[in-house]
Amino acid sequence: MKENEEHWDLVVKPKYSLFDLHLADLWRYKDLIMLFVRRDIIATYKQTILGPLWFVIQPLMMTLIYTLVFGRVANIPTDGVEPPMMFFLSGVILWNYFATCLTKTANTFVANAGMFGKVYFPRLTVPVSVMISNLVSMGIQFGLFVVLSVYFAFTGSTIHITGYILLLPILILLLAILSLGLGIIISALTTKYRDLSYFLAFGVQLLMFATPVVYPSSFVSEKYRWIIQFNPIAPIIDGFRSAYFGTGYFDWSGLAYTSVFSLVTLSVGIVLFNKVEKTFMDTV
């Protein structure tokens, strides 16, 4: 080797293959990912009076509204979960994480076009940071769920924690993978088809009613239960409720289906994201 040959710490090269993903770069840029995570958390409620308290206030307000509308007015059963607000809070926490990750990730290319056009870094770091930053907020909300569970347990309510509690990390991981995969697929398609961004706004709301968030899966009649069975989010929510309340419609085949669906979705999303990454500046 020549003595005057230059040595580089990083060499940026074009991606020649559709499957030339360079996923190892995510680990090399872990500091940048954590910087994005910190930015997302701070910027969310930076100029608000209550600040981080909104992490707790939002799910509580939604839970109270769902309890009043669906529990009291519509009289939808909660599979015997007492008090009913704990049933709704469990669905709200998981659904909020999925919906927030999906909508924010789906806007990756459009929202960050200016930054992407000026400096190189793995574009996948942005949606990954969204996934992690929302895990922080969900962790705070889950802490609220635990505190309320302990409170209601001391006031006479019964919390039936089952062996499914060991599946909690897997359920959260599957929810994160699913939201990330769907989000980057939509973000890749949105660069060319902007209509998807408008469809996503109410599509997420429609999807919530096809997911057992405000009702148990057992509430759905056999005629329409196939819709719930094909929804990959349903086994995650049912598994969470089975873990903490000992109720719910949950089986291993549903969890296996969600696992395969999530991994396939993420794989397709990464490949499509990688393809669009090379040319998105021409269309955004």
Residue 247 lies in a domain: yes
Band of residue 260 on the pLDDT scale cut at 50, 70, 90: very high
Residue 31 lies in a domain: no
User: In the predicted model, what is the mean pLDDT of residues 92-112?
Assistant: 87
Q: Name the residue with tokens 């000026």.
A: 118
Within its chain, how far is the Cα of 22 from the centroid?
24
Residue pair 268/188 in contact (Cβ under 8 Å)? The answer is no
pLDDT by residue (tens digit) across 114-152? 777 677 777 888 888 889 989 988 998 999 998 988 888
Residue 122 lies in a domain: yes
Residue 257 lies in a domain: yes
pLDDT by residue (tens digit) across 163-206? 778 889 999 999 999 999 998 888 888 877 777 777 887 888 88
Identify the domain containing residue 79 by its residue range: 40-282
DSSP state of 245: H
The pTM assigned to this predicted structure is: 0.85
Number of domains in the chain: 1
Residue 12 lies in a domain: no
Best CA proximity match to 134, nearest among 165, 176, 164, 170 = 176
Residue 206 lies in a domain: yes
Best CA proximity match to 159, nearest among 216, 67, 83 = 83
